[in-house]
Amino acid sequence: MALKNLLVIVDHSKHTSTRVDFAASLADRFDAHLTGMYTKAPSVVPAFVMAQIPPEARKIHDDSLENMAEQAHRLFEERVTAAGRYDRAEWRVIRGDPTAAASLMSRYTDLVIAGQTDPDDDDWEGMVNPDELVMSSGRPVLFVPHSYSVGTIGERIVVAWNASREAARAVSDAMPILERAKHVTVLCVNPSPELGDEPGADIALQLARHGVNAEAAHIFAHDIDAGDALLSRASDLSADMIVMGAYGRPRMRELVLGGVTRDLMKQMTVPVLMAH
């Protein structure tokens, strides 16, 4: 599947402009349409309390939401115009729960670009929950680190592989990007014996048959967290993207690849494409 319709989540975090720049650059690379989405989150005040708030105060609140949406719209327009993508971009404002709204909108796109949670942001109640988005959207989500500066995109990629359904889905969803990469490393961290003497060799061959310059590699990192090992090897390889599957259980969210957990979401240093 080609990447022809991208969705970027726009909010009022201080990293939004970088996220939009990244999305616009990716859209330019694939000549894709880019939709910017902003959500007007409903008030968390209980209904019985809201009923006691004077109409004037409620109007001030509504006006504030409208002003924030307009600011986000201006930012989006400025960034896509600077990237030369104004004629291939559109703006959507949806009222409702940010994560639920983003999950629904994502089903009409090929790829979602979202932001990593930044603990320094003040109000994440009005923003998309990254963990829930990747589990509920039904589409691959490309997370942009909050400390990221836009540079090369998808030229040197690390695929975190453990032969799970989720990892296979991630590879399939990322194929348009993988096919354009200069080099792809299929990395198995602490591979199970079922993967054979050359873990990752079969999926590397599958990628090669799609014209991807791929190689298989594996490491054993029993003395450190597998997520740290993955990020460390990605840094050693000068990777500018990681592709991996996302795995969830009732009442919890965790990522595949053995010991790799949601800590990767907190520690990512390059964009990470996840699929469930």
Domains along the chain with CATH numbers: 5-144 (3.40.50.620), 156-275 (3.40.50.620)
Alpha helix locations (H) across the chain?
A: 16-30, 47-50, 55-82, 98-106, 130-136, 165-173, 175-178, 201-208, 226-236, 263-267
Q: What is the rounded CA–CA span in Å between residue 196 and residue 266?
A: 32
Predicted confidence (pLDDT) per residue in 88-122, tens digit:
999 999 988 999 999 999 999 999 999 988 777 76
pTM score over 0.85:
yes
Chain Cα centroid distance, residue 59: 35
Predicted confidence (pLDDT) per residue in 35-44, tens digit:
999 998 766 6
Using alpha carbons, list the distances in angstroms from residue 273 to 26, 28, 65, 141, 267.
13, 18, 31, 6, 14
Chain Cα centroid distance, residue 41: 20
Per-residue pLDDT at 24:
97
